[in-house]
Amino acid sequence: MNYFLDVLKKYAVFSGRARRKEYWMYILFVAIIYIVLAVIGVVTKQTWIPIVFYVAILLPSLGVLVRRLHDTGRSGWWVLFSLVPLVGGITVLVFACLDSEPGENKYGPNPKGLAPAHV
């Protein structure tokens, strides 16, 4: 739950890097909350309930995705590529699944706190 709250605390932060675990734990909690709200909305015939939640978390979700892309060494502008039907969404999904770029990159230090292993 801390991962979800940490992302919400960085509501509109588009700089820096987000670990894979931070991103996917946030997505997991969003999915669980959305499903619960959707069920409540269907039961009470208030279909606007999950829509309000989705709109409320849109900006933090974009922020954490941009930070996740930064962690892999990519620009946040790749988010726009996800608008391309089929190929765009799959590409951004693959980028979100990739491991962090080791060491510091142009978006900041590695959030894992590990130095790259150079011999």
In this predicted structure, what is the pLDDT of residue 114?
Answer: 56
Hey, what long-range contacts does 109-118 have (CB within 8 A, 24 or more apart)? 109/17, 110/17, 110/71, 111/16, 111/17, 111/18, 111/19, 111/22, 111/71, 112/19
In this predicted structure, what is the pLDDT of residue 118?
Answer: 53
Note the pTM of the prediction, 2 decimals.
Answer: 0.87
Q: What percent of the chain has pLDDT over 90?
A: 72
* Overall average pLDDT of the 6-19 stretch: 90
* Overall average pLDDT of the 77-104 stretch: 93
Q: What percent of the chain has pLDDT over 70?
A: 95
